[in-house]
Each structure stands twice: as C-alpha cells, then as structure tokens.
A and B are shown apart, each in its own frame.
Chain A
Amino acid sequence: MSKLVVIGDGMVGRRFLEAVTQRDPSWDVTVLAEEPRPAYDRVRLSAFFDGVSAEELSLASDLPGVDVRLGEPAVAVDREARTVRSSAGDYAYDKLVFATGSYAFVPPMEGADLEGVFVYRTVEDLESIKAHASGRRHGVVIGGGLLGLEAANALKLLGLETQIVEFAPWLMARQLDEAGGGILKQHIEKLGIGVDCSTGGTRISAVDGRLLMDTNREGVSYETDLIVFAAGVRPRDQLARECGIAVGERGGITTDLACQTSDPDVYAIGEVAAMEGVCYGLVAPGYAMAEVVADRLAGGEATFPGADMSTKLKLLGVDVAQFGAFDGPLATTYLDPVHGSYAKLVLSDDATTLLGGMLVGDAEAYPLLRASVGGKVPAKLADLLGGGEVEGTLPDAAQVCSCNAVTKGDIMGAIHDEGCVDVPSLKACTKAGTSCGSCVPMLKQLLAEGGVEVSKSVCEHFTQSRAELFDIVKVTGITTFSELIARHGTGSGCDLCKPAVASILASLSNGHILEGEQAALQDTNDHFLANMQRNGTYSVVPRIPGGEITPDKLIVIGQVAKEFDLYTKITGGQRIDMFGARVEDLPKIWRKLVDAGFESGHAYGKALRTVKSCVGTDWCRYGVQDSVKMAIDLELRYRGLRSPHKLKSAVSGCARECAEARGKDFGVIATEHGWNLYVGGNGGFTPRHADLLMSDVDSETLVRTIDRFLMFYISTADRLQRTSKWVEALEGGIDYLREVIVDDKLGICGELDALMAKHVENYADEWKGVIDDPEKLQRFVSFVNAPEAPDPSIEFETVRGQKFPAGTTARSHTQPVLLGTPERK
C-alpha cells in the first residue's frame, strides 16, 4: 500500500482527507496534527463566545484507513529518505501534503510577549482570552480587518469596553474603499466600540497590573487590560523551508496550479500554499486545492479553478459584503449616511457585465450579486444599490455556494432529479450551505423557483391540511377522532394529528376536552390541564384577566403556593405561574383556586393565553380610553378558545403603547376617538410587529372584527401556524384580510359571527369541570396502583429561597453578573 502523510489537521487538511478517502481508499494515510483536538470549523471560531462549545465546532469524521495523530507535530522532513519526523517518531511517505495553515502575525514590538497579549487563531487562544477577560474592563484589538472586527465583537461579548486600532486609513481596507470603510466605522462606533485608524502600536509595557500601549501618534496611548493581535496571518512554511522546498518571496510554499511544490512528491494546500505566488487567506480556495490534490493522487488532471474571494459577514449586526472585483472600469456607488448604508457595483466599460462590488449596512442583494459576477447585471441598478430584497433570476452557471463551488445548475438538478425538497436535503445532497451558510437564503429562493411546494398534509395519517380537516369536521358534524380517521384518514393517528383534531373539535365547541374519546387525543398538557415541566411536575396558572387582581386573590395564590410548596414567578403575560406541582396535587390545588373564584388560564393549551393591559385612563395621566376594562372584556370573551397555535393579546390606553400590543396576535391601542386594531404580531423566535387592520373604531366594531379575525384564522390556518405567518401567507395579505372580515367579500362573516357566538355561549371552566367529576379526578395520580404515592424520583433543591428541579440550576452555563450592592453604613 502506498503511504500518504499529511501535515496539519485543519479545515483544509480535513477536507483533503475526506476527498482522498472518497476517491481512492487504498492510501495508507497518516496525519500529523499539532493541535490537541481534531479539525474544527475555524471560520465559525467566534461562535465559541456565543456559547457554542469546541465539540460543536468539530469537523472530525471517522475516515477509514486514516491514522490521525493528535498533539504530535511534524518537526522535520527528510526528502532523501522520504520520511517525516514527528515529536514521537518517524513516518515514511510516498506522497507528502503540507496543510499547515498560517500563524497569527504579531508585528515586532517591545512587550508583545507580555501576559495579557493574545492572538486569535485557535480554540486555545479563545479560551485564554476568555479566562483573562474575566473580571477585567477594557480591551484593545490591533487590526481592523475581517479578523480584527471578529475579535472586537468577541471582546464586546465578553463585556469589555473595546477599542480597535488600525494602521490603514480605514476599516477593512482589503475589502472596502474609503467610503465603505467610513460607513462601517460609523456603525461600529454606534455600538460603543472605539475605532482609531491610521494608528499603529509601537510599544507595550506593564503598568500596575494593566497594559499600556504607545502608538505612532503623538500623545495617543491606551491603558488597557488585554490586547489581541489581529494584524494578519503568515503561512507556516518553516518546515518546508528547512528541507529545501521552494518558498515564495513573501512566504508560503510555492506551488503550481496542481498544488505541486518544487518536489513532485510533495503538495501544499490551504493557507500555507503560495499558488503561483499568491497565498489565499480564505477557506474556499483551500477546499478547491484539497479537491485538486485528491484528484491528482487518484490519477486525475485537475487544476485550481481560480478563487472566489467574496466575503460576507454580519458583525455586531452590521452586514458587510464584498464580491468579485474591488474596482474597475465603470463603478457606480450609492451612499446613504442617514441609514448607514453604502453600495458599490463595478461593471465592464460597456456596462453589460457585473465585475464585482461591495455592500455595507445592507447586504440583502449579496447572494444574487455574488452569483451574478461575470454575467449580466441581474436587476435594475437602482434596486440593487438601494438595498432591500431584490428579485432577479440567475443563469444556471452562476455559483451559489462559493465555499463548496456549487452552481445554481447543481441545485436545480438536485431539486428536480434527486428529489430535494428542503434546505437540509439540499445541504446533504450538494454540500451547498454547509460551510459559512451565507447562501442559505438563496437556497430557499431556488427551492421556490424550482416549484417545491411544502406539503401541507397534517401527518402520515391524514393527507388533508388542518384547514381542510376543519372544514370536514364543520360540514360533516363528526364529533370523534375515530370516526374522522376511519372515514378520512389511515392508521391509528399520532402525536401530530391527534392534538390537531382535538383542537378542531374544541374550537367547534364539543364539550369538555376530557370528555369521552376526546380525552385520548389531548397532548399531555391538555390532558392534565397543566404544563408539564422538565422533571415531570406541572405548572399551575390561574387566569388573571387583564392582569388586574384584588389583594384577596393575591393572598389566595400566595397561600396555595405556600401550602403545596410551589415555586412562584410573575410571567410576561401579567399573571402568576406556580411551578413544581405533583400530578396528584393538581386537583387539590385547583379546588382551592376555584373556590376563591379563579379559573384555568389555559397556559397549557393552544388557546387564548392572556390579554395584557397598561394601567390606562384610571390612573395614567396620558390615557385616552379605558384599556384595563377593554382587556378584561376581551380576555373573558375569548377565554378557552382553542386555536391552531397559542393566542396572545394586549390593550394599551394610548399611543405610548406600554402594553406592547403590537407584539401580539391581536393588539388594541386606544386613540382619541376609539381604538386601533393591529393583527398578526408576535414575539418569540422571529418577532414581528402586528399590522394595522382598522383605526378609530368604536368598541362594538372592535370586538366584532376581532371575533371574525379569530374565527377566520381558526378555520383556515395550518397546524401550529401562528397568526403572523398566517397573515403573511394570505394571498393579498392584510388588505385581503380586511376585505374578508370587514367588507365581507366572501360572504362568510355571518358564519364566523355564529361560530364565535357559540364559543362564548358554551364556555365553561375546564378545571371546575374536572374537580366536580370523580371519574376525571381519578386520572390525576402518579400511579394507578398506588393513588396516594407521589413519584419518588422527583427531587427538588432550594435556590434563592425557592424550590427548583434538582440538578437543573447547576446545568446553566451563564456567567455571574455583578450585582448592585446597597451602601452599608
């Protein structure tokens, strides 16, 4: 067997190993790796400070026939004998590959070796920065390029006041022109990070446990706790130099387009290679080199296809992108200092071909532009320059994912021939989107362009969508799941269709949700009318309409929580949660609450949760309508209403919007003349502000319109589709919605009104229904054969004077926060 030795298990080395073992598994491969851990995603290194662990960044894969020797750097190469010496032994090779990457460049400067001075390259670097930053206040980053900005971001995340010092006259001078660099600086400074350009450090000294850095500028020096060098990288070509392999003038192992060095049995790939004299500091060209050498070793003729040096990054919330040529015969620019955006497009002199450009502040057009480099300008210049999402179609040859060299043609092929229907399957099939991820939005667009429609069927048992099932139930009057699945579905159901059908039956007012067969459909939470928590205990949330509560009722909550030893917390919905209730205690707890006049808050259900309110006219000097009264009325009207997803609402007494109504499924804001109604807002994973549906309406119109909005939503939405997505998905959007529920364009308002009237009429408290029914009460036990026994495996511990599930608080990874301490006299 032929022997292959690879020096370096970094991003490119690892990609090379994958490519080689795939093409020609007959090689006997040894990898000498200096770092203590297998290859990891250096590009995403900074995610470490967002809590992503080193393990999660790992690129390690089990490769057949590959012996990876971690923590065993190569120290010498003997080309005569064809051996590599490592710190532990000698390895013979037939072919040798250098994939040693780069090291961080530290300019020769007095004091650069002091404690508290770091570089930014490896997991270990980041770990030491983190350890040193703890309890300290200020940090300086030397270098305002891509890497420097990432490092500054990291220091800011670590809570340090951060200063960037850049030698060039503007930030990201290798990617941006002066105007772009200026806009970027404006953004970065707005985030509280200092930026000094045309400034270079000259000397670092230790003063009183801190660091002092002098600069080339008269009178400018920085007192700081920590300095990070991000001033560029240099190829790690030392070993190659020592064994007489040719290196470039400015460093790097010289190679031809086949990655071959001056010794035909030795290749160099990744950042260490100076291909025809050029070192590439990005991962995509390195991956291309890895593929080239793998092909060559398998007898192929591949050569380096040329590099796409496009970059896009989002740092501290600022989008910056550069693609293709930096400058050229014809350039158009657009500068908007008010909104902090800058765009520049470089065109051929006949203005037909896009050669490149840059975007700062708004990079929505980047995927389209990058993929169009070398081709026709893909849309109107004004649209491309002006920012925002741009529509345009790409030619098939356009490269969509530059990290992995995937074209639009490849993606469309995967959609049509391989049956890819979503982003994960495209990733698996083409590798597009698996490295930096910046092309993922483009993948989604291409899926839509390829005509992929997301299936709306509820699950494997029903081909119908939720809306279709709703219609079936409404029209046929079916009242049980077994009848529905027997007539309109297959199999015995699952955790997707059962709760969905349960919700439909409940929306259409079919009695108590735990009555008869309906009991078997309810998700655990609905089944016990409480939210299951991580240790199998439940939370108890009584309804507090509008957030208004009497002192007497507050006392009852306190007493109940005390008696049953419950953890209490005030929720974001203006009510009180009690956690840690054992299943067998639920009926006893609710007996006390119901006796005191409380009802179920439906915190467990896909149903109306709360209607928050501000303090309104009664107390607030700004209020123009009685927001509290309206909130209570709305909450009582819609309590218990089952829906495709949870529903939240709020009412504010004036335009100051203290109740945050626009973040709700339906929000009401008082005006001088009545109410404004907003719909389709939500917080959560992707927050969205609600849209204005009607303005200045009286209370009666308001309530009637909300009735119809809710019933139209419940009748037509998909399973687990919140109102925001539902409104967005309506063809014609909010205007169409207004035509249907205000102008009655479809002639269904009468029916919607009747459905809501039925709900209001049939409402009954679910908990009262349980505690008055011995049959239902029977179910609230931990063990069917030992009704009195609590589950012995549930344990608690005490933190901040309250109980918590045992073992959970220690699991949290958060850093301690310094607390304000009252002055002691």
Chain B
Amino acid sequence: MQTICEFDRLIPGRGVAALLGDGTQVAVFRLFDDSLFAVANRDPFMHANVISRGLVGDRGGEPVVVSPLLKQAFSLKTGVCLDDESVALEVFAVEVLGGEVRVGVRAEAEASA
C-alpha cells in the first residue's frame, strides 16, 4: 500500500488521480458518505487516463463513476462497465490510516492483511 494524500484533501463527490511507484495510475473517489473507492484511471474505451475526473453517483443503488469522455458508467465496487459488461476497470484496495489515504493493488493488500 502506498500513501497518496491526506483524506481532507479529497472533495466529497469527486475523484483524484494518483501515480503509483510502478507507473500505474489509480483514480480515487470520496463519496458524500465519506466512503472511498479506487479503480484504474485509464478509460478502456478511449485509452486516456481520465476516469478520476468523471462524475460519481449511483445507478439503481450501485455506486458508479461515469467516464467524462463517452459517458459509460463503471461500478466503483467491481469495476465492471454497466453499459458493456465485457469491459471492466481494475479495482484497487484503498484505506485511511492516520488521516492519510493509502492505495494498493488488491492482491498485495490482501496478502499483507
């Protein structure tokens, strides 16, 4: 897991992008209820790193982020694209520790837990 910023830096209802050590880009979102989600930042349709700048909300109760380019919705929980289920964003582990937000690859986080 890697620290990316202070929790207070995140605006409720918006996302930020973080650059991991290996060059991976992760989009991290803080929702209005202060829950956190992290998914890959790369839009699988247009291949630009912009997911962090999408709007969040819900579709039928499922928390989603909507790509700012062509507006496909992705589940924040599973990364699956609700408009084309053959496409998904990688989901990352995210947590708050001592007021700081940390993200990491799922498998890694589970192994260390």
Closest-CB distance, B58 to chain A (whole angstroms): 5
In the complex the two chains form, is B9's CB within 8 Å of A520's CB? no
In the complex the two chains form, is B49's CB within 8 Å of A791's CB? yes
Which residues of chain B are within 8 angstroms of A535 by Cβ–Cβ distance? 46, 48
Residues of B contacting A: mostly: strand
Closest to B16 in A: A784
Closest-CB distance, B103 to chain A (whole angstroms): 9
Q: In the complex, A778→B66 CA distance in Å? A: 23
In the complex the two chains form, is B53's CB within 8 Å of A527's CB? yes
A50 contacts the other chain (Cβ, under 8 Å)?
no
In the complex the two chains form, is B19's CB within 8 Å of A494's CB? no
Which residues of chain B are within 8 angstroms of A492 by Cβ–Cβ distance? 31-32, 56-58, 63
From B4, B25, B55, contact of A495 by CB (8 A): B55
Given contacts A494-B59, A532-B69, contact A792 B23 (CB under 8 A): yes
Q: In the complex, A564→B49 CA distance in Å? A: 20
Which residues of chain A are within 8 angstroms of B11 by Cβ–Cβ distance? 519-520, 779
In the complex the two chains form, is A460's CB within 8 Å of B59's CB? yes
Q: In the complex, A598→B110 CA distance in Å? A: 52
Q: In the complex, A162→B59 CA distance in Å? A: 54
Q: In the complex, A778→B6 CA distance in Å? A: 13
A368 contacts the other chain (Cβ, under 8 Å)?
no
Closest-CB distance, B70 to chain A (whole angstroms): 10
Number of CB contacts from chain A to chain B under 8 A: 103
Q: In the complex, A411→B28 CA distance in Å? A: 48
Closest-CB distance, A740 to chain B (whole angstroms): 34
Q: What total of chain A residues lie within 8 Å of the partner, measured CB to CB?
A: 36
In the complex the two chains form, is B58's CB within 8 Å of A495's CB? no
Closest-CB distance, A584 to chain B (whole angstroms): 11
Closest-CB distance, A800 to chain B (whole angstroms): 23
Q: In the complex, A186→B71 CA distance in Å? A: 47
Closest to A786 in B: B19
Chain B interface residue bracket vs A: 35 or more
B104 contacts the other chain (Cβ, under 8 Å)?
no
In the complex the two chains form, is B13's CB within 8 Å of A520's CB? yes
Most buried by B among A521, A535, A782, A783: A783
Q: In the complex, A525→B2 CA distance in Å? A: 30
Q: Mark A768-800, 1 if CB is under 8 A from B, else 0.
A: 000000000011001111100101111000000
Which residues of chain B are within 8 angstroms of A495 by Cβ–Cβ distance? 54-55, 57, 66, 71, 73
Most buried by B among A524, A527, A528, A784: A784
Which residues of chain B are within 8 angstroms of A782 by Cβ–Cβ distance? 17, 19
Closest-CB distance, B56 to chain A (whole angstroms): 8
Most buried by A among B18, B53, B60, B61: B53
Which residues of chain B are within 8 angstroms of A536 by Cβ–Cβ distance? 48-50
Closest-CB distance, A458 to chain B (whole angstroms): 12
Given contacts A534-B69, A783-B17, A784-B5, contact A793 B55 (CB under 8 A): no
Closest to A497 in B: B57
A523 contacts the other chain (Cβ, under 8 Å)?
yes
Which residues of chain B are within 8 angstroms of A493 by Cβ–Cβ distance? 57-58
B64 contacts the other chain (Cβ, under 8 Å)?
yes
In the complex the two chains form, is B19's CB within 8 Å of A534's CB? no
From B3, B57, B69, contact of A498 by CB (8 A): B57
The 7 A-B residue pairs whose C-beta atoms are closest, nearest first, are A520-B13, A494-B57, A524-B68, A536-B48, A784-B16, A495-B66, A785-B4
Residues of A within 8 A of B (CB): 460-461, 482, 491-495, 497-499, 517, 519-521, 523-525, 527-528, 532, 534-536, 778-779, 782-786, 789, 791-794
Q: List 23 A-B contacts (CB under 8 A).
A: A460-B59, A491-B58, A492-B56, A492-B57, A494-B55, A494-B64, A495-B71, A497-B57, A519-B13, A520-B12, A523-B68, A525-B68, A528-B53, A532-B53, A534-B69, A536-B50, A783-B25, A784-B18, A785-B2, A785-B18, A785-B19, A792-B23, A793-B49
